[in-house]
Amino acid sequence: MAERSQFCTFYLDKLLFGVELKGVQEVIRSLEMTHVPLAPEVVGGLNNLRGQIVTAVDLRRRLKLEARAPEIRPMNVVVRSEDGAVSLLVDEIGDVIEVEETTFEAPPETLRGKVREMILGVHKLENNLLHVLDTEKACQMGEAATEIE
C-alpha cells in the first residue's frame, strides 16, 4: 500500500495550496492584526494567539501574487516552524485532503518565479492540482526593510 499523507488545503488567488497537516497547529478565521512598520512587506502583522504573539506572513506577498482584494478578510493557518508558531495568511480554507505518494510530482521545469521556490511539488488530484508549500521557506521573512532615504 502506498504512503498516504494528509494536507490542510487553502486557496491563494484561486490556486490550491496545501501544507502537511501534522505541521499545522490550528486554523483561525481572522484575528485582529497589528501592523509592524519598517518590517519586510511579507509580514502581515502581529496576532495575539491566546497570549502568544504570532507573526503573520502574507502568503500572497510571499509568493509575489497579486495583492488580495481589500474586501477579502484573510484566514490564518498557524503552522509550527523552527522559530516558533507562524500564521500564514490565506484567502480561503479548503478541506483536509488525503493523498497518496504516487500522485506526487516535482514542479514542472517550466514553472518559474517565487512559486517554484516555495513549493516542494504538486499532487495530481482528480480535477485539480495541489501545490505543496515548503513551510520553512514560506515562513522566512527576509531581512527587515533596509534604511532607505
Partner 1 sequence: MSDSDIVRDFLQESYENLDRLDRELVGLEKNPRDADALASVFRTIHTIKGTCGFLGFDKLEKVAHVGENLLTRLRDGKLLLNPEITTGLLSMVDAVRQMLKEIESTGQDGENTYPELLQTLAGLQESAVAAPPTRPAASKSPSAEKKVQALESKARESAAADTIRVGVNLLDKMMTLVGELVLARNQLLQVSNTSRDAGLQTVSQRMNLIATELQKEVMKTRMQPIGNIWSQFPRTVRDVALSCGKQVNIEMEGKETELDKTIIEAIKDPLTHLVRNSVDHGIELPQDRAKAGKDSAGRLILRAFHEGGQVIIEISDDGAGLNAERIRQKAIERGVITPEQAQKMLDREIFSLIFLPGFSTAQKVTNVSGRGVGMDVVKTNVEKIGGTVDLQSTLGKGTTVRVKIPLTLAIIPALIVTCGGDRYAIPQLSLLELVRLEDTKAVTGIELVHGVPVHRLRGRLLPIVYLRRELRIGDARQANKNEDDAVNIVVLQADGRQFGLVVDAINDTEEIVVKPLRKQLKSIKTFAGASIMGDGKVALILDVVGLAQRASVVSETKEHAEAAKAAEAAASGVQKRSYLLFSGPDDAHMAIPLDTLARLEELPASQVEKTGTRWVAQYRGEILPLVNLGYALLERRTRPRSKEFEEIAKAERYQVLVCNHDGHRAGLVVERIVDIVEDSAEVQYPASREGVLYSAVIQGRVTEMIDVPAILQTAHLESEFHPEHAEVIH
Q: Give the footprint of partner 1 on residues 53-112 (CB under 8 A).
A: 53, 55, 83-84
Of the residues 71, 109, 126, 143, which one makes contact with partner 1 according to CB under 8 A = 143
Of the residues 51, 69, 70, 71, which one makes contact with partner 1 according to CB under 8 A = 51
In terms of CB distance, is 23 or 40 closer to partner 1?
Answer: 40
In terms of CB distance, is 9 or 55 closer to partner 1?
Answer: 55
Of the residues 2, 3, 32, 67, which one makes contact with partner 1 according to CB under 8 A = 32
Taking CB under 8 A as the rule, does residue 142 contact partner 1? yes
**Euclidean distance between CA atoms 4 and 135, whole angstroms:** 19
Type and span of the H or E element at 11: strand 4-12
In the complex, least distance from residue 88 CB atom to partner 1, rounded to whole angstroms: 14
In terms of CB distance, is 111 or 144 closer to partner 1?
Answer: 144
**Euclidean distance between CA atoms 37 and 44, whole angstroms:** 10
Q: How many residues does the chain have?
A: 149
Interface region with partner 1, contact rule CB under 8 A, candidates 3-11, 39-47, 110-118, 124-132: 39-47
Looking at 84-124, which runs of residues are DSSP E strands?
Answer: 84-90, 92-100, 104-105, 119-124
In the complex, least distance from residue 30 CB atom to partner 1, rounded to whole angstroms: 13
Sites of contact with partner 1 (CB under 8 A): 32, 34-40, 43, 45-48, 50-51, 53, 55, 83-84, 140-145, 147
